[in-house]
Copies of this chain bind each other. A is one copy, B any other.
Amino acid sequence: MNIYDIAKLAGVSIATVSRVVNDSPLVSEKTKAKVRRVMEENNYTPNVFARGLGLGTMKTIGIVCPDVADVYMARAVALIEKSLRESGYDCILQCSGKKDPDDARAAVTNILNKKIDALFLIGSFYMLEGEDDPDTDYIREAAKSVPVFLVNGYVRGENIYGALCDDRSATEQAVNLLISEGRKRILFLYNTDSHSLREKRQGYFDALAAAGLPIDESLLFFSLGGIEGAKHDLLLSCPKDIDAIFAANDRLAVGALKYAREAGISVPDELSIIGYDNSEIAVSCDPELTSVDSMCETLCRININSLRSLLQGEVPAAKSYTKGILVRRASTLL
């Protein structure tokens, strides 16, 4: 059932049917009604490919992220998908993997071929070494064909928009809290090297410096493998004299909590722990963990609004910030 069939059945030309489909004001209400009836009777829907060919768009947006199974990204995808669907867009999702930046490039190249109308990149992973890193040139390249939106990231370039959580100051704030509780030997626990991580580390340094505390490289603790991995690694080689842990994500923080339990260290009396992301596992554990909310939804929303502005011919800000919020729970003292 195509536009010709409908035209024939309705006794009009295909041009008229097309106009009805697109709700053009150039058609009389009468013929509109007639054509609509025929379309419904045959439950006709226009062929999206043909439509795409003619129009050059199928109203889809591309979402690329390292891994949807990650709760943070899943939340972002869910929100973006929902919002953009309300504006009539479908979403093509592509997970690019968490390791190799080259895979990111391949993913972007691939999804661009789908002639999407906009591209969302989720996670600071795509930011690499900073806003001007030449390794992100593929993003600038992509931006030549569609607007690109970074959720918790920004890359300088024409037609590129991004929103960032100020991880640096949020971390500084979190570490300040620990310091204000009298903590002096604060472990920085992390498991990746992303832009976001570097910002957190810097915030950690900032807080220490402001308090006149020494920066001790041995307090930067790297551990892969999630909850179990962190627990295991800490049991193996955590410096014994620490009195607090700032973890770059909640999974690590829970691992730290389990380490403390197993090592017979009481939390928060002997050891304070702060996590990051304010995810469900931060409230599943016991004691519940203080955690920094990295404002995933807010970042998504900023980008979505930028896209909406763009569609209306307005020019949105290229780069926006939001503050992380420290959500305080039992595992810090005060």
Residues of A within 8 A of B (CB): 45, 47-50, 52-53, 56, 58, 60, 63, 67-71, 74-75, 77-79, 81-82, 85, 90-95, 110-111, 113-115, 226-228, 251, 254, 257-258, 261, 280-281, 283-286
* 12 extra A-B contacts, CB within 8 A, seeds A68-B77, A90-B110, A93-B93: A49-B49, A49-B50, A52-B53, A58-B114, A68-B78, A69-B79, A71-B71, A71-B74, A90-B94, A90-B111, A258-B286, A281-B281
Residue of B nearest to A255 (CB): B284
| B82–A95 CB distance below 8 A | yes
Q: How far is the CA of A48 from the CA of B60 in the complex (A)?
A: 13
Residue of B nearest to A63 (CB): B93
Q: How far is the CA of A75 from the CA of B45 in the complex (A)?
A: 33
* A67-B78 in contact given A115-B47, A284-B281 (Cβ < 8 Å): yes
Counting from the closest, the 9 A-B pairs by CB-CB distance are A49-B52, A74-B74, A69-B78, A281-B284, A284-B284, A49-B53, A68-B78, A286-B286, A93-B93
Q: How far is the CA of A92 from the CA of B81 in the complex (A)?
A: 10
Q: Which residues of B contact A285 (CB under 8 A)?
A: 284-286
| A50–B53 CB distance below 8 A | yes
| A69–B58 CB distance below 8 A | no
Which of B74, B90, B95 meets A114, CB within 8 Å? B90
* A68-B74 in contact given A92-B92, A93-B93, A286-B285 (Cβ < 8 Å): yes
Q: How far is the CA of A45 from the CA of B145 in the complex (A)?
A: 13
Q: Which residues of B contact A63 (CB under 8 A)?
A: 93
| A81–B53 CB distance below 8 A | no
Q: Which residues of B contact A82 (CB under 8 A)?
A: 95
Q: How far is the CA of A75 from the CA of B69 in the complex (A)?
A: 5
* A48-B95 in contact given A81-B68, A280-B227, A285-B284 (Cβ < 8 Å): no
Pick from A93, A254, A284 the residue with the most CB of B within 10 Å: A284
| A94–B91 CB distance below 8 A | yes
Q: How far is the CA of A113 from the CA of B226 in the complex (A)?
A: 41
Q: Which residues of B contact A53 (CB under 8 A)?
A: 47, 49-50, 52-53
Q: Which residues of B contact A49 (CB under 8 A)?
A: 49-50, 52-53, 56, 58, 115
Residue of B nearest to A70 (CB): B74
Q: Smallest distance from the beta carbon of A99 to chain B beta carbons, Å?
A: 14
Which of B45, B81, B111, B227 meets A94, CB within 8 Å? B81
Pick from A49, A82, A90 the residue with the most CB of B within 10 Å: A49
Q: Which residues of B contact A93 (CB under 8 A)?
A: 63, 77, 81, 91-93
Q: Smallest distance from the beta carbon of A252 to chain B beta carbons, Å?
A: 12
Q: Smallest distance from the beta carbon of A253 to chain B beta carbons, Å?
A: 10
Q: How far is the CA of A283 from the CA of B92 in the complex (A)?
A: 33
| B92–A90 CB distance below 8 A | yes
Q: Which residues of B contact A92 (CB under 8 A)?
A: 60, 90-93
Q: List 16 A-B contacts (CB under 8 A).
A: A48-B115, A49-B50, A49-B53, A50-B53, A52-B52, A52-B53, A53-B53, A68-B68, A68-B74, A69-B74, A77-B93, A81-B93, A90-B92, A281-B281, A284-B285, A285-B286
